[in-house]
Amino acid sequence: MSITTQRLSENAVDFIDEAHINDLLDNTQGDVVRVREIIAKSLSKQALSLDETAELLAAEDPAVIEEIYEAARSLKREVYGNRIVLFAPLYVGSYCINDCRYCGFKRSNPDAIRRTLTMDEVRAQVKVMEDMGHKRLILVFGEHPWYGPEYIANVVRTVYDVQSGHGEIRRANINAAPLDHDGFKIVKESGIGTYQIFQETYHHKSYAAMHPPMTRKSDYLWRLDALSRAMEVGQDDVGIGALFGLAPWKFEVMGLVAHSLHLQNRYGCGPHTISFPRLKPASGVKINTRLAPDDEMFKRLVAVLRLAVPYTGLICTARESAQVRREVMAFGVSQIDAGTRIELGGYTEVGDSQCLEKEQFTIGDARSLDEVMGELLRDGYIPSFCTACYRLGRTGEHFMEFAIPGFIKRFCTPNALTTLMEYLVDYAGPETLAAGEIAINAELARMPDGSGKTDLIERLNRIRTQDDRDLYV
């Protein structure tokens, strides 16, 4: 049932054809010859269709699954190199008019400690995050009339205003409720990066069971259509996601791919990122986690998504343990959060122990940013805080430039290295500093000589020896 009378996107449709998806999931064999053809298509960096995704999901033979993993690893290396982009969430407000059965912020949870940060409190949180070394945030809001587009835009401007030493936030992403066209326009004008909205579940019946009738979020189509409305007003940097555990996991993978294809076909560009959080325990929440994929299934879904949408960033948050995150980074995850605190005010007010009443769910990886940086470097990754593409307008449709051969070598790796150098000089502990210097030298040694390399070395030296920051190409 629709309770929304507001305007949807032009020719809005419910593009989740459940009968078709179920038919594909029920009647696809995971035939080895066909799986290999599909892997080859993906390795040539073409997005997969729903039929092809279903074929990969149907593979059950361990040897074939291993081929899928290997392909995902190699695609990730080719498209993203060894970079991992880092960010952190900032929870701004926990008031909520909805009653999502899985969420600690739901309105019927009497134990939730409700709070909205004042602008001064936002500044204080951001300062601490900058002092840790963060450059990219995602601002998270419950759904409430207080958190309208003007308010969100105001928070974004406040965040960008905070400077602490060499620290600044260069990209603020948003995870908040669906807006109407005007709302997305207002928030876009404040200079956000990605607007992220998770459909939670693409499965209609499960969606209805999780979002009680007559709550705003019960309107499946209003939510499914949200990022199409964003696209229509030029907010072409969008993130989709599903909360795994509410419906069969293969169905959700198909839903995510269908959503991605819909945006690509209709607006000429797919989502910038896909998230696939698994359901976690939360205050006041009793839900059955029977449908949540176990660790093995989780790895498979990441590998299949990597192959299905070669150019879409995959995000794995600190809901997952350090170990699981480490594994899925090899298969395709390109962005993680680190040093994460999800209690309201958590970056300044509480220690390491989690307080379920103050937060939305429990997290699995509560390590500091510096610990995560150190591990990434020792594992051969280049942690990156780069924000160059979106600041130079390389988003949305133009983000497909990413597909240009040599783009990573020319832009992404050098920018990752300069942001890493900033972190090392300004924030790193001694072990991370040592590991970082080794990693930068190894990257430089791998680069062919030429003006690109000379210019990069010059930028790195300016950061190391002077106050110059934010040097990117």
Which residue number, 75 or 103, has a Cβ lying nearer to ligand SF4? 103
> What is the pattern of x (binds ligand SAM, CB under 6 A) and - over residues 432-471?
----------------------------------------
Least distance to ligand SF4, CB of residue 281, Å: 14
DSSP 279: P
List the single partner that 361 binds among ligand SF4, ligand SAM, none, CB under 5 to 8 Å by kind. ligand SAM
Tokens representing residue 210 in the block: 């999780």
72-101 positions binding ligand SF4, by CB under 6 A? 96, 98, 100
Q: Which entry of ligand SF4, ligand SAM, none binds 428, CB below 5 to 8 A by partner kind?
A: none
Total interface residues for ligand SAM by CB under 6 A: 21
Please name the residues in contact with 100: beta carbons below 8 A apart, sequence gap of 6 or more: 106, 200, 210, 211, 217
Q: Which is nearer to ligand SF4, 217 or 278 (CB)?
A: 217
CB of 239 to ligand SF4, least distance (A): 15
According to the binding rule CB under 6 A, does residue 143 interact with ligand SAM? yes
Asked if 220 touches ligand SF4 (CB under 6 A), the answer is no
Q: Is 251 in the site for ligand SF4 (CB under 6 A)?
A: no
Buried b (16+ CB within 10 A) or exposed e, 114-138: ebbbeeebbbbbbbbbbebbbbbbb
**Binding residue (CB under 6 A) for ligand SF4 from 76, 83, 106, 459:** 106
Q: What distance in Å separates the CA atoms of residue 326 and residue 333, rounded to the nearest whole number? A: 9
Q: Where are the extended beta strands (E) located within 185-339?
A: 195-200, 238-242, 273-275, 313-316, 335-337
Q: How far is CA 75 from CA 79, 149, 265, 309, 416, in A?
A: 6, 38, 23, 10, 19
Does residue 116 interact with ligand SF4 by CB under 6 A?
no
Least distance (Å) between residue 94 CB and ligand SAM: 8
Of 149, 183, 277, 293, the residue at the interface with ligand SAM (CB under 6 A) is 277
Question: Is residue 223 part of the contact set for ligand SF4 (CB under 6 A)?
Answer: no
Residue 138 interacts with ligand SF4 (CB under 6 A)? no
Which of ligand SF4, ligand SAM, none lies near 106, with the C-beta cut-off 5 to 8 A by kind? ligand SF4
Q: Which residues pair with 242 in a beta bridge?
A: 200
Choose which of 42, 175, 273, 415 interacts with ligand SAM (CB under 6 A).
175
Half-sphere CA count of 282, side-chain side, radius 13 A: 24
Residues whose CB is less than 8 angstroms from the CB of residue 364 and which lie 6 or more positions away in sequence, other chains included: 280, 318, 319, 320, 321, 322, 324
156, 187 Cβ separation under 8 angstroms: yes
Contact between 321 and 349 (Cβ < 8 Å): no
Name the pairing type of β-strands 313-316 and 382-384: unpaired
Q: Does 211 bind ligand SAM (CB under 6 A)?
A: no
- Residue 95: contacted member of ligand SF4, ligand SAM, none (CB under 5 to 8 Å, by partner type): none
Of 103, 318, 344, 416, the one binding ligand SF4 by CB under 6 A: 103
CA angle at 145 for the pair 143 and 147, rounded to the nearest 5° = 65
Minimum distance from CB of 174 to ligand SAM (Å)? Answer: 9
- 262 makes contact, choosing from ligand SF4, ligand SAM, none, with CB < 5 to 8 Å by partner type, with none
Nearest Cα residue to 162 out of 134, 136, 124: 124
Comparing CB distances to ligand SAM, the nearer of 245 and 383 is: 245
- 143 makes contact with ligand SF4 (CB under 6 A): yes
* Residue whose structure tokens are 């709302």: 183
- Torsion-angle region of 72 (φ positive above 0: left; ψ -120 to 50: alpha; else: beta): alpha
Least separation in angstroms between CB 280 and ligand SAM: 4
- 163-164 and 167-168 beta bridge pairing: antiparallel
Shortest distance in whole angstroms from residue 404 CB to ligand SF4: 38
Is 342 an interacting residue with respect to ligand SF4 (CB under 6 A)? no
35 versus 243: smaller Cβ distance to ligand SAM: 243
CB 98 within 8 A of CB 141: no
Residues that bind ligand SF4 (CB under 6 A): 96, 98, 100, 103, 105-106, 142-143, 217
Residues that bind ligand SAM (CB under 6 A): 102-103, 105, 140, 142-143, 175-177, 197-198, 200, 243, 277, 279-280, 282, 285, 319, 360-361
